[in-house]
Structure 1
């Protein structure tokens, strides 16, 4: 086997690894772009090698976006909890009784 074919095979494997990471990043980025998309925990496929250095900046940007989305979701969850607590303060309606909710204060 010539050294050239070994180098070619290694270059091809590196390209495949890079392509696999790019595919994963694109999938994660699409999930962040979807305002109503569900984001669940992510584990890199076992077949992936460590992130290539050439993708480090992209990985850091993706991580920052994920952290921002997490913060937004936590804020929304707190807002929902506040609304639910407020709703729980409204006494249950009696049958055949008029019900009014003061929404202005």
Structure 2
């Protein structure tokens, strides 16, 4: 391609579209640590402690309940960010998919 197009070598890839790239001799690993921190801040959860399970077991959410409605734009923004985060964290894919079902009707979210 270099013979056909004008190109320059920028060196090894280290960061691309919010994904951190670490290249070793035998491995390449991807991560989104900085992106995750920004997402936690945006969701007001920057000070929360990590947990092993991304979602409470047997959690039942419903669209029809008495909880106060959440800010739809903020909710959609955070869920969209979580969708992007699943590129490197497949363990949260089910939980993100589950909460995505509640983006209709400016979701009212409560546990149990």
Q: Please give the TM-score of this superposition, normalised by the length of structure 2.
A: 0.29
Q: 1 or 2, which has the higher strand percentage? A: 2
Tell which structure's C-alpha radius of gyration is larger.
1
Which of the pair is proportionally richer in helix? 1
